[in-house]
Each structure stands twice: as structure tokens, then as C-alpha cells.
Amino acid sequence: MILHYDHIDSTNRVAKDLIAEGTPSGTIVRAAAQSAGKGQYGRVFESPQGGLYFSLVLEPDLPLDQSPLITLATGLACLRVLEGQFSLSPLIKWPNDIYLAGKKVAGILCENVIKPGLDGPTATVIVGVGMNANNQVSDFADEIQPLITTLFEHLHHRIDLDVLLADLTRAIVGQVTRLKHERAIVLTEWQQADLLMGRSVVYLHDSRSLTGTGLGVTAQGTYRIREDSGLEHQVIGGQLRLSSA
């Protein structure tokens, strides 16, 4: 089932309501624009007309503690579609941002809805993807314009968002399915597109910060950072960025 709204607050919010009503895995909620798109860290994800904004409901056959990997698999899926369909060369900034030539072109927000089960709790996952596509940088708020890009800025022509949605959802299901038997290969492929690998990064969590060198993801989906002292950390949940950014 695909639900298409012209304008809605957040497709992730609608997907959550549909899950409560028993919607099946595979449901897609799409909007041409959002007024309160949900981003990481409680931020609003700016969603003007021309972008592709959707939430895919998935019931992955994975243990609950592997759900952080779904964000990584979704990032890899976005990467493969942008490479394969448009010959672009994106990179992924852990855990959920897709970058083109140093600027963000897409963001991913996966949210879990936990249900009790006979063999322990299971998660239905809302895979939310927002991609700046047929819009232009000038369509966004002044303060984020220097940080973002759109597919239009790279391709110089408009693309068919219906086709992009079909390609992305197929690729996401494919990459998430691979996590069950090919997790290590998926992570190796992800690692090859890691924007932060070997670079100087800052990790912010609550009021604490950590500076070091990005070392890539672990099998659990956490990110490794090595401080100049040699001390290594595995982080999850906070913000990680290039220290020059």
C-alpha cells in the first residue's frame, strides 16, 4: 500500500499511526512536502516541494539489538541508487546522512515500534528517508543553504520521483534483507563509502564532546573514534561531525 499526501506534518508520524492500526510490512507513506519532517536529535527536517519524502514500514527478520544496522543498510541502499541511476559518487556520514561533494543531499530517520512477542519483543521499523531531489538550494532556509545540496544541482535536470521512490524502496528492502546472512559484507561495503574514515571528527553527546579520528563502524553499528592519546571509543546516539565543519 502506498499513501501519498500533498502536504503533511511528517510521514514518519503517519506511519506510526498506521502501525498502531495494524498496517502490514511494506506500507509506504509519501508526501510532496512536510511541515514538521522529523530529523535526528529532535530537529525539523526541512521538506520543501520537489524533494522525495517517504516512510517505509518494515518488519525485518532481525534481532532487536541489530536495529541500528537498518539505518546503515538504508544509507547503503540510497548510495547504490544514486550511483546506479545517476552515476553520482555519494558518501555516507555516520549514521544517517548522504553527502554529495561535501554537502548533505539526504537524511534517514529510522524509528522502532516495539511489540511484545512469544520469543521476546520485536520491532516494526519506520524507515524514513528525505532526499533533496528536484528542489534547489535556494528553496531552503538561509542558514542551512551552505550545508546542503540537491540532485537537481548535480544533474541539471528534473528526475521522476515515482521511479526514484520505487528504486529506493526496492534497494532498502534488498539491503535490509542482506543483513541477516551477509551482515559483514554489507558493513564492509558501507565502510567503503564512509565520509569520516581516517578524518578528524568531533562527537557531541549531551554536554560532552570527544575529538579524535574516525575509524569506521562496528558489527553492532556503533562508530569507532580514536583520541590523539590512542584511547578508542565506540559511540552511538550523539552527533558526529568533521572537526572542520
CB of 141 to ligand BTN, least distance (A): 14
- Name the residue whose CB lies closest to ligand BTN: 107
Check residue 124 for interaction with ligand BTN (CB under 6 A): no
Q: What is the dihedral of CA 129, 134, 139, 143, to 10 degrees?
A: 50
* 75, 107, 212, 214: residue in contact with ligand BTN (rule CB under 6 A): 107
* 16, 18, 27, 55: residue in contact with ligand BTN (rule CB under 6 A): 55
Q: Are 51 and 133 in contact (CB under 8 A)?
A: yes
Q: Please say which residue, 14 or 187, places its beta carbon nearer to ligand BTN.
A: 14
CB under 6 A: which stretch of 51-59, 63-71, 165-173, 196-204 binds ligand BTN? 51-59
Check residue 109 for interaction with ligand BTN (CB under 6 A): yes
CB of 15 to ligand BTN, least distance (A): 8
- What order of strands is seen across the sheet that includes strand 223-226? 232-235, 223-226, 208-217, 200-205, 239-242
CA distance from start to end of the chain: 40
Cα(109)–Cα(210) distance, integer angstroms = 24
Cα 112 to its chain centre, rounded Å, is 14
The one-letter amino acid at 169: T
Residues that bind ligand BTN (CB under 6 A): 10-12, 34, 37-40, 43, 45, 47, 53-55, 96-97, 107-109, 128-130
